[in-house]
Structure 1
């Protein structure tokens, strides 16, 4: 009879335990060395797994790449969890947080997986869990339950949920497409929490991990920067890398979280049947659901709290107030804060006295009014400008991070980024830079998206090199096409274009026109440090290529390569 790895592992641990009982002495034994058991089982996606584990190797147990939270440690010494649904065979390595012992489980490809790397999650929570918009005392939790009726949420400081900090019940119904979003208050600042949902019948969702804002214990805020994530244009290898990190306070997504159409130059992952452009609430809901069939996106949403803003591919900005259903679907499927005016996406997070992180909306409020004493249209609108300018003046933090969808810096180049960028609104840009300068706000980082390539820019008042006001990081697209997908030249062409970009824009400290990925921004009291991390997009890959480190220190208002120790 052929014995399974799980059976063999059980016998091995029982044998070890038996020897301990037989030869154990009366005095307290020496602590055991960490157990490295290797692969102990091969299981199916969504299978409920029970693993043997000796009582002297306590939990909680955590998966080393954050692909799984909520491993249960039972009184009889066993571990149990539900394997995630995966689109490629995956080895989960569980490590005891008590003594570092490890054991691994191989998860087979889901039977629901398709050829382009999509695999719905485990029912009835096929779309996973997420959290977002954290404050020092609260966070939003999200899931979608394929059930009608009450669903219980639970939040705990322990990954195995041995002790529930808070719980409550929320109704799942068709009015919100069975999505559930709950604001949990009364939490501790700068604290990691784990959360999950439970149906009335006892079905348990995957567990997620989140982290509250507020003053940080180590005077450091680190966040990932993402934009332009087209499922059709490539594989979400960058999301997998973001999920694997355990050092992030936040994921900031600056728009084009979903895409409405397939670019003919970027036909990489096309579902069957081929997608059509969403033009109503139902089709926008379906597009969000399609995206969350990607296991890497689900993992990144479960691993960290998100701070998200829409852009023109998420909704049809020219058709207010419903925006062809895109606005409602976005708010249903994204864990973001409520607003009385649902078109108000601009908001702020505060991390003690270290940094404020602002999201301003350069999409839905432009062109509604003109700037004072000018015929030029306002990029932000009167209400948003009043909120931003007054908030910046009142901000007492060491740093401010201002995120928006579009490249903020002055930009001259042999390509056209369209009329929706700040280049088309020079009066609005100058007004904001002058306000920052006049208010003595010296330490500010802009972060932006949409252009699909990477730029580190020094922001100059009236384009004068002797008047630096702030710095900007334009992050590359996660997958959407950039210069190489558009121009289709060789390395010499891209090198020449990069040189042209820098010659025409001497305030650009660095430019990368061809790589895709995400940024990491680290804020400390003395400096802001940024680095792009680039991933392949044409196939699933663990490859990760670091970009150069760029930093700015207090009062500097310019980029310098490298970082202070």
Structure 2
């Protein structure tokens, strides 16, 4: 893992910081006998941030009463723990919400390990993890997930991913939890499913965020996946508040107090409850970092949400309140302003320097929001017309234009249809049909044009094979990435959600219209090759020296624990080395 802190500094400081890890050096005794507070392991075990020689081990102990609790751990090469590699103990307490985080170091590269914890007479579940490979590597397999909303349904997608035995790591792209109050977003079935959130109110304080993480970590499917494979994570907005940016969020009001205090509380809880390695003492804001899978894959995890993002643009600011006209010139000037940033200068310079020095055959950006250009007709993007309405009225307008021009090829049926529906082409409708294509989501990279171009040009100058990963939208996508000059730079694969609803929910698309709507969007968006607008699932990336293959797997239900693979909706695509294009498999 690449960061700005030396290993010596990290060893000296990591045990002191919020959410930091103690360091495991080797075989040790069972620890102090002075701390006898018993405790149970109700939240499972997890591992994460693997490097060639290290991996974070995590658990949380629930004590019978407050105080310092001694927790012992073991790391072995077998699941019976007869071949121990490292052991040790640490004290945890309410100051870190009784979480336990160990940085197991001095391990072998590309090796599988087993780990467990002990508190008094209680043993935790056994976890399985692995370090990253070094040297020549022929295959890397990553499961990519995002957007798990507890009240929306069961975490069957985690359950499905946990059925795999071939994963090198799970890449979680954020929205690990949601901050909304009970009865809020996508909670229609929460009561009947027994999945109403805790606490009942919106998350504001450190105690609130800790409580919600505790509820998530009691989910059996999430526990199963965490125990089976190391996670590499970044946050998105809902770990703090919806549509967050550097200094605020859509879902934060002045009455809720200081946003920075809320953010600090949220990020402290994140570092306590996730198996992520902190940069240094007390730093729970910087999360961007790199992972090297031998000579095959370099994975660069980015923070596109909190550390440097300027506030999102709003289309309402460019609409004339009287005429309804859209000020396209002013919008383009703002969205392409060269000082508008999503990553922030420090992170952008780090990414540029890292990409220019990287040597892996595949350079992968693990980040939250869509990088591909996703422009739709403005009437659709601003939801004044649905996609079926736009298609119908657009075809009607074309007929009217042909009739006005005296087109002799018009049939009698076309003229009859035009006469019966001419009244639909009101001046307001015609104005909407003539609006330009605009980005449908200004929270994504389409709202941060210049910085996207810097990243693409950096990858192009280094002649990299670029793969961008995205989550956030709750839908699955495959995009070909091109710069503003039309040069093919790389590809983008976006995963669906674990449980959060997607565009079918926001646009209220009837289920029977989903396939036609997906085809229509792929047809409208120039570089888009695949879209899934309704299914919950995960994405599997398989890297070899010759190609990267993306397989999207979906479940047929999140409203019942009895689910199946929605095999008729699964999809696969491949990108060959040196050819930044996407082909279906």
TM-score tier, shorter chain, comes to 0.7 to 0.9
1:254–1:310 CA contact under 8 A, matched in 2: yes
Report the Cα offset of residue 514 of structure 1.
Answer: 0.8
Pairs within 5 Å for 1:125-524: 125-147=41-63, 148-199=68-119, 201-215=120-134, 219-261=138-180, 263-270=184-191, 271=195, 275-316=200-241, 317=244, 318=248, 319-320=259-260, 322-323=262-263, 325-340=265-280, 341-367=283-309, 374=337, 376-413=339-376, 414-415=380-381, 418-441=441-464, 443-462=465-484, 464=486, 467-524=487-544
- Which position in structure 2 is the counterpart of 1:73? none
Query: What is the TM-score with the length of structure 1 in the denominator?
Result: 0.74
Report the Cα offset of residue 142 of structure 1.
Answer: 0.2
The separation in 2 between residues aligned to 1:477 and 1:180, in whole angstroms, is 28
2:135–2:295 CA contact under 8 A, matched in 1: no
Number of equivalences = 436
Query: What is the TM-score with the length of structure 2 in the denominator?
Result: 0.71
Report the Cα offset of residue 155 of structure 1.
Answer: 0.5
1:190–1:216 CA contact under 8 A, matched in 2: no
Report the Cα offset of residue 420 of structure 1.
Answer: 2.2
2:197–2:212 CA contact under 8 A, matched in 1: no
The separation in 1 between residues aligned to 2:209 and 2:201, in whole angstroms, is 10
Residue 440 of structure 1: SS of its match in structure 2? coil
The separation in 1 between residues aligned to 2:114 and 2:135, in whole angstroms, is 18
Deviations 1:439-486 (A, max 9, x none): 222x1110001011111100011162xx21000001111110112223
Structure 2 unaligned segments of length 5 or more: list them. 1-37, 249-258, 312-332, 383-439
2:146–2:175 CA contact under 8 A, matched in 1: yes
1:152–1:168 CA contact under 8 A, matched in 2: yes
Deviations 1:271-322 (A, max 9, x none): 4577221101000000001111210011111111001111111114422265
The separation in 2 between residues aligned to 1:415 and 1:165, in whole angstroms, is 56
Residue 375 of structure 2: SS of its match in structure 1? coil
The separation in 1 between residues aligned to 2:105 and 2:301, in whole angstroms, is 22
1:131–1:304 CA contact under 8 A, matched in 2: yes
- Answering whether residue 465 of structure 2 is matched by residue 545 of structure 1, we say no
The separation in 2 between residues aligned to 1:542 and 1:381, in whole angstroms, is 42
2:44–2:218 CA contact under 8 A, matched in 1: no
Check 1:245–1:312 CA distance in 2 against 1; reply closer, same or farther (3 A cut): same
The separation in 2 between residues aligned to 1:432 and 1:224, in whole angstroms, is 24
The separation in 2 between residues aligned to 1:405 and 1:541, in whole angstroms, is 30
Instruction: State the structure with bigger RCO (CA 8 A, min sep 6), 1 or 2.
Output: 2
Check 1:259–1:368 CA distance in 2 against 1; reply closer, same or farther (3 A cut): closer
Deviations 1:404-452 (A, max 9, x none): 11011011132466432111101111111111112222x1110001011
- Which position in structure 1 is the counterpart of 2:321? none
The separation in 2 between residues aligned to 1:123 and 1:326, in whole angstroms, is 25
Which deviates more from structure 2 when the two are superposed, residues 360-369 or residues 290-299? 360-369
1:402–1:446 CA contact under 8 A, matched in 2: yes
The separation in 2 between residues aligned to 1:553 and 1:383, in whole angstroms, is 32
The separation in 1 between residues aligned to 2:495 and 2:554, in whole angstroms, is 11
- Structure with greater helix share of residues: 2
Which deviates more from structure 2 when the two are superposed, residues 242-251 or residues 485-494? 485-494
Alpha-carbon RMSD: 2.2
1:280–1:324 CA contact under 8 A, matched in 2: no
The separation in 2 between residues aligned to 1:307 and 1:446, in whole angstroms, is 15
- Which position in structure 2 is the counterpart of 1:527? 547
The separation in 1 between residues aligned to 2:285 and 2:443, in whole angstroms, is 18
Report the Cα offset of residue 232 of structure 1.
Answer: 0.9
1:366–1:377 CA contact under 8 A, matched in 2: no
The separation in 2 between residues aligned to 1:491 and 1:235, in whole angstroms, is 21
Which deviates more from structure 2 when the two are superposed, residues 432-441 or residues 352-361? 432-441
The separation in 2 between residues aligned to 1:490 and 1:556, in whole angstroms, is 37
Pairs within 5 Å for 1:50-89: none
Residue 545 of structure 1: SS of its match in structure 2? coil
Check 1:264–1:380 CA distance in 2 against 1; reply closer, same or farther (3 A cut): closer
Residue 209 of structure 1: SS of its match in structure 2? strand
1:430–1:461 CA contact under 8 A, matched in 2: yes
1:265–1:486 CA contact under 8 A, matched in 2: no
